[in-house]
Structure 1
Amino acid sequence: MIALSVAGAATAATLDPLGDPAQFQRDIEEINRKPLPDGEALARAVGAAVTADARQRGRCVPAKLVIGALSPVTLDGMVTATIASGQIENGWVTSVKLEDCPPAAPIRILLFRMADGVTLQGIFSGQGESLAWPTLAREGLRATVGHAVDKLRRADPKCAPKDMTATDVKVVDRSADLGPDVYGIRLKGSWRELWTFEPCGHRITVPIAFRTNGAGGAYWDIDGGGIVYLP
């Protein structure tokens, strides 16, 4: 689970995922009628999250950022549960371009507005493009890392990277019936992504396919034969 530092008293609206479905839908819509985070508070929260990730991974610490549109992820399982527990008011994902660092894929930030309705907290959620919502992306990372590490051990046993976070993710295919984003999740269809890792100067790409289960989750499958290693 993602650790959150709770600021102020919990004042967020009650949300019951196991209650009446119609009421749950109304509550989700009401939560998302509130104004989006913006201005200096948004810039500070996103900047702090990007800086923390850069320092942890030993990457360029940017001073200039371009923050993309905020997309609500209220129906992501982890976000819904955290709202229901009274810790946060809502959550969004945004893609952040680093203007003054070497060319790299944008950073995805998971942004929370805490239960006090004011405090914002950002957390690194990945790098590159992805249709996977935060909980699913975390599962996808575990799956792709495992295969990337297996490939690395066979190709370069001496390589022992401190970090195996993907440096890029690209969506390479979408099914014709892929459903729209519904507060962060998709309920229909499938898509394929290519996850890239760069340990010890090597480049490893791992294909992963996602298929929605119609209930807010998705299955995933790694194409082992499609994994590519470049020394």
Structure 2
Amino acid sequence: MRFRFVAPILLALAATTASALPLDPLGDPDQFRRDVEEINRRPLPDGEPLARAVGEAVAFDARMRGRCQPKKLRIGPLAPVTLDGMVTGLIVAGKIENGWISTVTLEDCPPGDPIRILILRDADGTTLQGIFAGQGETLAWPTLAREALRATVAMAVQRLKVEDPACAPKDLTPTSVRVTGSSADLSPSQYGIRLKGSWNEVWTFEPCGHRLSIPIGFRTNGSGGTYWDLDRGGVLFVH
């Protein structure tokens, strides 16, 4: 099963129109890059505002999924995702200043994969918002991960209908994501996205006491597009 996700922000770099936007993907490519670099020279979120935004996002997710409500969190380093399509769009619209991903470990809950939190700083340069962005490790940026999630959930639902028709969970999000391999030419993250190479992951769900693992492969096309393939034959279902 093959899907394609295209990051329009990169496909637009060839255009050259002037604009007074805070970040103009349709303008001069060199100016666009300078603007992205300037945005990322600003101080990172930290201290009590960051802790509060992350804590609220983690607590909201725990309530939604019926999970442990942690009181002790370890917030990992912040990685910019400025070139994620959704984040760039919000910057262009003047709604936020920038966005970052942080991996958060729940220290006083049962063992489990860390949670990823998308942190957005409003255009006022102060107000922070945290958004649950998944559990486990992934090299996919937020918008790409969201699109791939729809496909993996659809496959998980199809398999559940066969294996356990009575299982109809209200929530179906991965409890574990693992990167299982990458190509030698995989490029480093460039403000959240990757332009070259490929990698493989396994996304695992645990509905109704089962364990359902779905292999997924990602492949960039060098111009802002990313394809992914779900390995139907490699799906593992454990009762």
The TM tier, using the shorter chain, reads over 0.9
Q: Is residue 146 from structure 1 mapped to residue 150 from structure 2 by the alignment?
A: no
Partners of 1:94 and 1:47 in 2: CA distance:
12
Could you say what secondary structure the match of 2:185 adopts? coil
- Whole-angstrom CA distance in 2 between matches of 1:140 and 1:99: 28
Equivalent residue number for residue 115 of structure 2: 107
**Which one of 123, 129, 150 corresponds to residue 131 of structure 2?**
123
How far does residue 215 in structure 1 lie from its aligned partner after superposition?
Answer: 2.5
Aligned CA-pair RMSD: 0.7
Q: Tell me the secondary structure at the aligned position of residue 203 of structure 2.
A: strand
Give 2:22's aligned amino acid.
T
Distance 1:183 1:201 in 2: 38
1:28 shift after superposition = 0.1
Structure 2 counterpart of 1:89, one-letter code: E
Unaligned runs of 5+ in 2: 1-20
The aligned counterpart of 2:62 is 54
TM-score when normalising by structure 1: 0.94
CA distance in 1, matches of 2:80, 2:229: 26
Q: Which amino acid aligns with 1:115?
A: A
The 4+ residue runs of structure 1 with deviation greater than 6 A are: none
Aligned-pair CA distance for 1:89: 0.1
Task: Give the length in aligned residue pairs.
Answer: 219
Measure the CA separation in 2 of the matches of 1:65 and 1:79: 25
Q: Secondary structure at the match of 1:55?
A: helix
| Residue 168 of structure 1: aligned partner | 176
Number of the residue aligned with 1:155: 163
1:165 partner letter: T
- TM-score, scaled relative to structure 2: 0.91
Deviation at 1:213, TM superposition (A): 2.0
Amino acid at match of 1:100: D
After superposition, the C-alpha distances for 1:79-99 in whole angstroms (9 at most, x for unaligned) are 001100000000000000000
SS in structure 1 of the partner of residue 217 of structure 2: strand
Q: CA deviation at 1:216?
A: 2.8
Match of 1:212 among 212, 220, 228: 220
Find the counterpart in structure 1 of residue 106 from structure 2.
Answer: 98
Instruction: Name the residue aligned to 1:133.
Output: 141
What's the CA shift for 1:41? 0.6
Q: Could you tell me which amino acid in structure 2 is paired with residue 135 of structure 1?
A: T
Residue 224 of structure 1 is matched in structure 2 by: 232
**Cα shift at 1:163:** 0.5
Q: Which runs of 5+ in 1 are unaligned?
A: 1-12
